[in-house]
Amino acid sequence: MNPKSKLYQPDHWRGRAEATRKKAAALADGKAKDRLLKIALEYDKLARRAQVWLTRKNEDDTWPEQEL
């Protein structure tokens, strides 16, 4: 695992969530819009998880192996 990867950066996931919400807003109500909004929520969860990883890494300057 590469902790410097953008996958470990909360802003990466927040940006994906925002872009997905914009796409959903352009759609008429329906299943596709609902799916995109659910995907955006999952991106938000990944952003929170990445923030926790980043915070823990900064606390002791190591990456807990079980969380990578």
> What six digits make up the tokens of 47?
């952003």
Average of per-residue pLDDT across 3-12: 85
66 inside domain: no
> What six digits make up the tokens of 67?
């969380």
40 inside domain: yes
Instruction: Flag whether pLDDT at 42 surpasses 50.
Output: yes
pLDDT, residue 66, reads: 53
Average of per-residue pLDDT across 33-52: 96
Nearest 10 degrees: CA dihedral of 37, 42, 44, 49?
180
Q: How many domains does the chain have?
A: 1
pLDDT, residue 68, reads: 47
1 inside domain: no
- What does the alpha-carbon distance between residue 21 and residue 53 come to, in Å, rounded to a whole number? 25
What's the predicted TM-score (pTM) here? Answer: 0.78
Instruction: Flag whether pLDDT at 62 surpasses 70.
Output: no
- The boundaries of the domain holding residue 34 are 7-61
**Mean of the per-residue pLDDT values of the chain:** 86
67 inside domain: no
